[in-house]
Amino acid sequence: MKLPQTFILNEDGYTLIQKLVQFRMDEDLAYEYHGLRVIEEKQQNIAQKNGILHSLNKAHKNHAASKMLERIRKKEEWKAYWEAKNLIPLPEILRDAAIEQLINDFNATAEGRIQLFLIMQEVIHTPIYYDMDHFKDAGEETNFEAHIDKISHLCGFGPWGKKIYKNTEKFFKDIKDEGGKMLKWGITDLVGVGSIAAVLALPVIAPAVGGLLGLSGAAATTAGLTMLGGGSIAAGVGMVGGMTVLVGGSSLLGVVALDAVGKILSQIPQEAVALNIVKVVNLIHYLKSDDNRDQIATIDILIKAQELFLEFKHQIEREMLLTGIYNTRKEMMQMTHILNRAFRQLIK
């Protein structure tokens, strides 16, 4: 099945993903600095008082301020390195483009607005801090839900940012409850705090996917990460040598066109498969909702998204039954739980 063009972003779409990820970093640091100012004001008030209790309280506040300053330092350092790797290499016209203008450009057409929804979804599923090169994880993002809610409203999708996150979180919880722990890669946390980025960063995955495209070495790794999407978007995978970015779960579901489902699924964690599937589920939910003001104009996208999932589901089930793409019955049952949970969500 040919991949719908809606799932394929150009440089403008890639740039907007990067800028919205940067926006989350800026919001996170602003929240941290606000917390630091609150502590400093309390320190000043305590400094004017005497007594052992006030002295103990002062020591506690000093320790809290010190820890917060160190956390801010790490985040500032990480952000500077991330920007140098992901934003500075962009063409100047894109690097200087305002977020609002990029959003307006996508909002100009019905298809562009659906692409904007997919862009927002990628940003929501992209942890902003994770181990990268010689940098260690800078810590957790504070006030995550408030940040994605702000991005959702900025893009014109109201509460859908939180809906995407909550549905993805529930999807992972449901498949864990139904299929037991997904222990192949040891990732049991929920999406949004780095678990998926950790999965996609595993060194064996991207080269394996890229290798199926006939590539090797760094080219295979880059192509593999681009196909997987999710956390890899923030790792700087984009318009390298004319490469496009695939979004909305199409990076993995689109392999049905390559007739390579079995080969790929045997080499990547089931969590990565689940993430790609739930992205399509989220998109279909939005396309069917009253919030989609372009329901008539986007009916073809809805049909293709549903067909993409059903064809993917059919091919996986066929491969599991006929060629045994998984080594154990447990792995097959876990994948069955993932597929059936998504199917049940789609027919609600």
Per the listing, tokens 């059903």 go with 310
| Residue 26 tokens, joined | 């800026």
The closest alpha carbon to 139, from 61, 60, 233, 76, belongs to 76
Query: Are the C-beta atoms of 256 and 312 separated by less than 8 Å?
Result: yes
Which residue stretches of the chain have pLDDT < 50?
182-195, 197, 199-203, 230-243
Count the alpha carbons within 13 Å of 104 in the hemisphere toward its beta carbon: 5
Contact 152, 161 (CB under 8 A): yes
Q: What is the pLDDT of residue 171?
A: 85
Residue 223 and residue 245: Cα distance in Å, rounded? 9
Question: Which residues are CB-contacts of 123 (< 8 A; sequence separation ≥ 6)?
Answer: 17, 20, 21, 24, 148, 151, 233
Q: In the prediction, which pLDDT does 297 show? A: 95
pLDDT at position 294 is: 94
What pLDDT shows up at residue 271?
75
Distance, in Å, from the CA atom of 83 to the CA atom of 89, rounded to the nearest integer, reads 9
- Report the C-alpha gap between 40 and 277 in whole angstroms: 46
Global pTM?
0.84
pLDDT for 262 equals 66
Which pLDDT does position 326 carry in this prediction? Answer: 82
Residues 81 and 244: their CA atoms lie apart, in Å, by 23
pLDDT of 149 reads 95
